[in-house]
Structure 1
Amino acid sequence: MWAVIDIGSNTIRLVIYTIDNGHPRPMLNKKYAVGLAAYIDKANCIKQEGINILLDVLADINTILRYIHPECVLPFGTAALRNSANGDEIVSLIKERCGMAVRILSGEEEAVFDYYGAMLEGIGDDGLLVDVGGGSTELTLFKDRKIISALSIPLGSLNLYRTHVDGILPTQKEAHKIKKTINDYLDKLADNELMHNNTIYCVGGTARAALKIMRDRYLPSGREEDNSYTRSQLKGMLDNIEKNRKQLMHNILCLSPDRIHTLIPGLLAFYTVAKHYDSNKLVTISLGVREGYLMHHLGERGNTRE
């Protein structure tokens, strides 16, 4: 068994995998809704309160691991640690207190590992992979099953919420500001090869939570096997935030309560990327950076067939 610890901006996850014919099979998946990005101060440092919560979570994970005895533990951090001024200090503290050697992934590495994970699920030969996290959004362009470009922008569902939203759900005016902020970043990207991709593959926790909402309220059949929706369907939902605010809050609380404040900013990010790159179809992929990072590590060790 292999343990992957994903220290993200919204959540921290421990996933225990076995490897079956080259594919990772999750045996345990434990999520901690921490919201590390919410503890970043004006100096761009994670506050002591956030550090203490992180250390408490990792201590709890260590307790679990002592009973499971995985062959290897692979902890990594993404945008919250990557973008904070004291990220390296926190990594050293984790090593000292918890005995874990956390690797902070660059934005490009995160985008690449997202693609490696999505490949395991069987995506198309061409497309654009989008991962809206809590503190960043990764964009991976691939053609003929080869990565053409892997980019990251420092905008995610949680920091977009903190910057632009005063209440729980954004108003139409706040939603417009969120979309403009994302568009301004996308316009600055030098890589124009991302343009005009009909299909966007959506990965990560925000993407999975978004699919639950779309499936429950806006997809005709609502079937579990439905994993895609159109840009126009997403627009229809976002255009009615004010009108359906109470019902939408109820739906999110029922389906993904820990994302009550971040899900709509995340959906706005997916919609803005889709519109910017003229994408009409959004397909949700369940595998992503954790599986990609694990399989990359196993590939280096020659253990992918266990």
Structure 2
Amino acid sequence: MLHAIIDIGSNTIRMAVYQIEGRAFTLLLKRKHTVGLAGYLDHGRLVREGIEKTVKILRGFMEFIETFGIAHVHAFATAALRSATNSRAAVEEITRRTGVVVRIVSGEEEAAYDFIGATQNIEHADGVMMDIGGGSTEIIHYVDHEMRGRWSLPLGSLAIAKAHVGGLLPTAEECRAIRAAAESVLDGVPDVRQLRTRHMVGMGGVLSSASRMHGLLYPDETPRLLRVSNLPAMAEMFGSGASLSEERTAVLLRSAPDRLHTIIPGILIAHTIADTFAAADILYSDSGVREGYIWKEIIGVDENER
């Protein structure tokens, strides 16, 4: 059967169409719009422009879904809508105007989906997963391939860029402010700050772009494996406030064309967290929240079952 999965995130709104038969599923199509919903929060409230952009995109998705007769539609929203003070009213309006029934998932649910989705790519029995979104970062601690703890931190690449960056790319001073903000969030969650791991698994658009950038800058390294020791240099290349060379501009445009304003804040968040955990590397995983949603909500698999 064909299923459309719509993921309303803090930075992007995505639709993926899968063919699901029993316990097997195949990705058939992906569509993405970079919206930056976290940037449409004004004093915690999702403003009219953010709602209108969401409605327009979902109407386009529904036109596609109806044209091809896709009967099973699943839609969920994460940090931006979850944290909005007018969340309920905004979701009710979006559903009424588009016909898309949107479910707001909690931070713990999002972390569970991340874990289930990425399980197939875990090479090490023990470690920590990290999903850096636009409005939040999900942290999952696992031991012997089983989840032991999960946390949703109010630490997102778009939200922190909005709070601390005045231009498209941060200055050196703004990079220091981002690091300090990330440290402050970690200080507020002692259980997370005390985690230690040699190896991490990373998910989400920010780490996808960071992985591409790492591959361009360090071509001899293992694909999709980010060396934590390389992250400060990557951030400094594009976050010093100095003019970029043509070569560096090309690297930035190739690796993060849709995330020019969030990639450096995201790398700074990643390094702050990974350094706190004493991690040596971060393995980027393509599978994440949408695949985890399929396993848990459609196929019916528990997070520690696979």
Fold shared by both chains (TM-score > 0.5)? yes
> Where does residue 245 of structure 1 map in the other structure?
244
- Aligned-residue CA RMSD (Å): 1.9
Structure 1 residue runs of 4 or more that deviate by more than 6 Å after TM superposition: none
Distance 1:184 1:139, change over 3 A: same
- The structural deviation recorded for 1:194 is 5.2
Between the aligned partners of 2:228 and 2:23, the Cα distance in structure 1 is 34
Task: Provide closer, same or farther for how the CA distance between residues 71 and 126 of structure 1 changes in structure 2, counting only shifts above 3 A.
Answer: farther
Q: 1:75 is matched by which residue type in structure 2?
A: A
Encode CA deviations 1:191-249: one digit per residue, 9 max, x unaligned.
1585211111110111111111111112326xxx7110211112222233326734444
Q: TM-score, normalised by structure 1?
A: 0.92
Aligned equivalent of 2:205: 205
Q: Deviations over 1:110-132 (max 9, x none)?
A: 11110010013344321100000
- The yes-or-no answer on 1:32 pairing with 2:30 is no
The number of equivalent residue pairs is 298
The equivalent residue for 2:224 is: 227
- CA distance, structure 2, for counterparts of residue 167 and residue 185 of structure 1: 23
How do residues 44-63 of structure 1 correspond to structure 2 at under 5 angstroms? 44-63=44-63
What residue in structure 2 maps to residue 16 of structure 1? 17
Q: Is the 8 A contact 2:23 2:299 kept in 1?
A: no
- 1:1-306 paired onto structure 2 within 5 Å: 1-19=2-20, 22-42=23-43, 44-191=44-191, 195-220=195-220, 226-241=223-238, 242=240, 245-246=244-245, 247-300=247-300
**CA apart distance, 1:25:** 1.9
1: CA distance, partners of 2:228 / 2:123:
19
- Contiguous gaps of at least 5 residues in structure 2: none
- Amino acid in structure 2 at the alignment position of 1:163: A
Q: TM-score, normalised by structure 2?
A: 0.92
CA contact (8 A) 1:157 1:263 kept: yes
Change (3 A) 1:170 1:23: farther
Deviations 1:99-150 (A, max 9, x none): 2221111111111110010013344321100000000001000001111111
Show structure 1 runs of 5+ residues with no match.
none
Q: Distance in 2 between matches of 1:179 and 1:193?
A: 14
Task: Measure, in 2, the Cα distance between the counterparts of 1:298 and 1:168.
Answer: 40
Q: Percent identity?
A: 34
- Give me the whole-angstrom Cα distance separating, in 2, the residues matched to 1:73 and 1:301: 19
Cα shift readout 1:81-114 (whole Å, capped 9, x = no counterpart): 0111111111111221112221111111111110
Deviations 1:132-187 (A, max 9, x none): 00000010000011111110111111011100111111111111111111111112
Change (3 A) 1:8 1:169: same
**In the TM superposition, what is the alpha-carbon distance from 1:297 to its structure 2 partner?**
1.1
- Separation in 1 of the partners of 2:88 and 2:18? 28
